[in-house]
Structure 1
Amino acid sequence: MQRYRLAYAKEPDRNDDCADGGLHRLSQTQRAYRELRRRILDNEMPPNAHYLEQELADALGMSRTPVREALIRLADERLVEIRPRHGARILPVSVDDMREIYEMMTELEAMAVRKLAERGLSRSELRLLEQAVEEMDAALARDDLKAWARSDETFHALLVDLTGNSRLSQVVATFRDQAHRARMQTLRLRPKPVHSNRDHAAVVEAIRQRDPEKAAATHRQHRERAGAMLLALLARCGSEGL
């Protein structure tokens, strides 16, 4: 059983189940859910690690009840496995799940890119995309892969959000969160993503030129190539027990 030291959020507050009741516990449950989910997605709580409810409660500065409720939500998202009387195990990233996620992200983002090129973007909207590409270039120049990954996710989020379709943004954001965990797990195993930055610049240029076919095709090829690399690295992580 793998054990890991947890970072502590603050001094424990043992009054969260007192007389002010359900509303306070609900806010504590939401805080526990958000913080545990963030730690899992960022791989601060790595795959196959085991945690007792009490140590999670101590780390978050709250009682076990909101932690238990948060773990139930995380289990519904297939991020943890609850083990009665033994706490929770962080589930590894599934290659099959990630394959499905990347297939969906590829198609939905390509559709978004096509719409942007058909409609055209304002100078300020194009500048947002350009800035994200510039930030990725700068991050690679200083070998800061985490900063590159943040700017990469910003770029892909912008491609969808600039369509103005809030439902599309919400769906893709869910997939992006799930993919984030796999990307953080494999970030330092992949080659330096210079080619990825060139793809991004090419997508922006196709949107600027109002060329929907080229924009969508370039983006689809980019996502398919990135997805194939990620799946191969995840399979390698699994076989090597990382």
Structure 2
Amino acid sequence: MEVNPPPLRVTATAPAPQREKLADAAYAALKASILEGLLPPGVETAEQAIADQLGMSRTPVHEAALRLQHEGMLQVLPRKGVRVLPLDPEDLRQTYEVLIALEGAAAALLAMQAQPAALAALSRATAEMGAALTAGDRAAWAAADDRFHRALVEGCGNPKLARLAATATDQAQRARALTAARRPEPVVSAEEHAAILAALQAGDAEAARAATAAHRARASAEILAVLRG
């Protein structure tokens, strides 16, 4: 069913006139809206409607849509617009297998290095998750959880690993947002994040790898069970 898009998550200020920067701004707005569920799975909308909302021409929106199609988030429909793709449980299972391996490696690398900025970011995200859990704010918890996992891979000192993990991390964020209301309170996740952080702070690479992989494996099984159900 085609609909006009809801208010998109516009992450850029007034876009620069360059075509590439306009496409980047459209990409950021569309991607954030998909990840946060503002554009839910199955929704169809015209590229021109998105362009009108973002205050730009259709061309940069089309370029952004093609990038997101390559990342597996939407489908470009010729002469119709775009359709947000549903999450396929089998595809997501494979994505999580990749993410478990990459995040485990990132945690081990981070534990072996002195990266105070990365550890501080992880500590802040852990504290924010605890505060959100106490307040019963699932949206705030999910946002802090996403910051934790992104800080983990981005702070590991291996930019290539971080780039490889980026698309998988996006799909995981999307799955987490779509299933949050149907999953138990994330008490166990909070404990697992604290264990990961403790291993990183202690410089224990193997413990950090194991704790990260175990956390992602358990959480992904929970999310997949909801999607399959």
Do both proteins adopt the same fold according to a TM-score greater than 0.5, normalized to the shorter chain? yes
More displaced, 126-135 or 161-170?
126-135
- Per-residue CA deviations over 1:89-111 (Å, capped at 9, x if unaligned) read 11111212211221111111112
Asked whether 1:35 is paired with 2:29, we answer: yes
Instruction: Map 1:84-95; keep pairs closer than 5 Å.
Output: 84-95=78-89
Distance (whole Å) between structure 1 residues aligned to residue 156 and residue 66 of structure 2: 34
Distance (whole Å) between structure 2 residues aligned to residue 56 and residue 167 of structure 1: 32
Change in CA separation of 1:8 and 1:44 when aligned onto 2, cut-off 3 Å:
closer
1:48 and 1:92 in contact (8 A); partners too:
yes
2:76 and 2:83 in contact (8 A); partners too:
yes
Q: Give the equivalent residue in structure 1 for 2:56.
A: 62
Asked whether 1:190 is paired with 2:165, we answer: no
- Per-residue CA deviations over 1:203-222 (Å, capped at 9, x if unaligned) read 22223334333332222111
Q: Give the equivalent residue in structure 2 for 1:77.
A: 71
- Secondary structure at 2:108's aligned position in 1? helix
Give how far 1:121 is off. 4.2
Q: Give the equivalent residue in structure 2 for 1:208.
A: 201
Letter in 1 for 2:23: T
2:106 and 2:156 in contact (8 A); partners too:
yes
- Secondary structure at 2:18's aligned position in 1? helix
TM (normalized to structure 2)? Answer: 0.85
Distance (whole Å) between structure 2 residues aligned to residue 9 and residue 152 of structure 1: 19
Q: Give the equivalent residue in structure 1 for 2:153.
A: 160
Q: Percent identity?
A: 41
- Secondary structure at 1:93's aligned position in 2? coil
- Structure 2 portions without partners, runs of 5+: none
1:41 and 1:177 in contact (8 A); partners too:
yes
Change in CA separation of 1:229 and 1:82 when aligned onto 2, cut-off 3 Å:
same
1:133 and 1:155 in contact (8 A); partners too:
yes
Instruction: Map 1:171-186; keep pairs closer than 5 Å.
Output: 171-186=164-179
Paired positions, count: 224
Give how far 1:143 is off. 1.0
2:95 and 2:168 in contact (8 A); partners too:
yes
Change in CA separation of 1:106 and 1:60 when aligned onto 2, cut-off 3 Å:
same
- Per-residue CA deviations over 1:135-171 (Å, capped at 9, x if unaligned) read 1111100111121112212222232233211212222
Higher-Rg member (1/2): 1
Distance (whole Å) between structure 1 residues aligned to residue 117 and residue 86 of structure 2: 41
Change in CA separation of 1:125 and 1:56 when aligned onto 2, cut-off 3 Å:
closer
Distance (whole Å) between structure 1 residues aligned to residue 45 and residue 64 of structure 2: 13
Q: Give the equivalent residue in structure 2 for 1:3.
A: 3
Give how far 1:132 is off. 2.1
1:71 and 1:80 in contact (8 A); partners too:
yes
- Secondary structure at 1:81's aligned position in 2? strand
2:9 and 2:33 in contact (8 A); partners too:
no
More displaced, 119-128 or 207-216?
119-128
Asked whether 1:98 is paired with 2:92, we answer: yes
2:35 and 2:174 in contact (8 A); partners too:
yes
Distance (whole Å) between structure 1 residues aligned to residue 9 and residue 137 of structure 2: 26
- Per-residue CA deviations over 1:67-124 (Å, capped at 9, x if unaligned) read 223222222222222222222211111212211221111111112222333x264666
Distance (whole Å) between structure 2 residues aligned to residue 121 and residue 203 of structure 1: 16
